[in-house]
Amino acid sequence: QVQLQESGPGLVKPSQTLSLTCTVSGASVSSGGYYWSWIRQHPGKGLEWIGYMYYSGSTNYSPSLQSRLSISVDTSKNQFSLKLSSVTAADTAVYYCARLSRVAGTETSYYFDYWGQGTLVTVSS
Amino acid sequence: SYELTQPPSVSVSPGQTASISCSGEKLGHKYASWYQQKPGQSPVLVIYQDDKRPSGIPERFSGSNSGNTATLTISGTQAMDEADYYCQAWDSSTVVFGGGTKLTVL
């Protein structure tokens, strides 16, 4: 059974860096075929894709966040992490980590099959 | 950038069929997935690759995708199906979500 669990500060001051970690169990972040991802949801709003990292180390980020964003992986701990710099109140949201899987034999069929429980991060002084 | 458009809300009576649309340019040339999210919970995958149901998802959930529109259909809708539903697609190596549809069962 694959499980993901977010952890990190629930309160971050404006202009500082938001840092979250996702601990994965039941699967390896070093395994091919999966994209380890972050998604956020502003209060009362829809889902917003943040970015992902492939096991090879390659990343892809949302264009709107790219300049402030970094996603990395720690294979020794089976974790991946998110760092979002220069945060403002607009970054207040529930942050989810999730596994993005690709259907074998397709190039464009991707879906999130496992999600963490989400963690609320509030940006406030 | 690619966009997916969903109606903000859909209402259905218990036992009836609910249809939730997701529109995007040539979406039928891509694959659509659908997620159900209940208040305070993480999203749950209910349909992937347009019309595939993950293990554990009831048969009343089905999907289709053609032209510019993907559709999630819930047959014999139950009160427990009341939730927000999001479509999702892959475009140019990025993930795109629709804005979400609130399904009300009344």
Residue-by-residue DSSP string for B2-40: ---B--SEEEE-TTS-EEEEEE-TTGGGS--EEEEE-TT
DSSP state of A43: T
Is residue A57 packed enough to be buried (19+ CB in 10 Å), middle (13-18) or exposed (0-12)?
exposed
A2, pLDDT greater than 90: yes
A35, pLDDT greater than 90: yes
Look at the block and give the residue holding tokens 């492939």.
A54
> For residue A119, which amino acid is it?
T
A54 close contact with B: CB closer than 8 A: no
Cβ neighbors of B95 (< 8 A, separation 6 or more) are: A37, A39, A49, A52, A100, A110, B88, B89
Size of the A and B interface in Cβ pairs below 8 Å: 65
Q: Do the Cβ atoms of A108 and B49 come within 8 Å?
A: no
- Please, which pLDDT band fits residue B31 given cuts at 50, 70 and 90? very high
Chain A positions in Cβ-Cβ contact with residue B99 (cut-off 8 Å): 46
A33, pLDDT greater than 90: no
Instruction: Kindly identify which residue of chain B lies nearest to residue A46, measuring between CA atoms.
Output: B99
A100 close contact with B: CB closer than 8 A: yes
pLDDT at A29: 94
pLDDT at B106: 92
pLDDT at A31: 85
Going by C-alpha positions, the residue among B12, B17, B22 that lies closest to residue B85 is: B22
Q: Average pLDDT, whole number, for chain B?
A: 97
Compute the average pLDDT of residues B27-45: 97
A34/chain B closest Cα distance in angstroms? 13
Half-sphere exposure at residue B79, Cβ-oriented, CA atoms within 13 angstroms: 1
pLDDT in tens, B56-80: 999 999 999 999 999 999 999 999 9
Q: Do the Cβ atoms of A46 and B35 come within 8 Å?
A: no
Portion of chain A with pLDDT greater than 90, in percent: 89
B102 close contact with A: CB closer than 8 A: no
pLDDT at A108: 86
Q: Average pLDDT, whole number, for chain A?
A: 95
pLDDT in tens, A74-114: 999 999 999 999 999 999 999 999 999 998 888 888 999 99
Chain centroid offset of residue A59 CA: 11
Going by C-alpha positions, the residue among B21, B39, B36, B15 that lies closest to residue B106 is: B15
A56, pLDDT greater than 90: no
Number of residues written out for chain A = 125
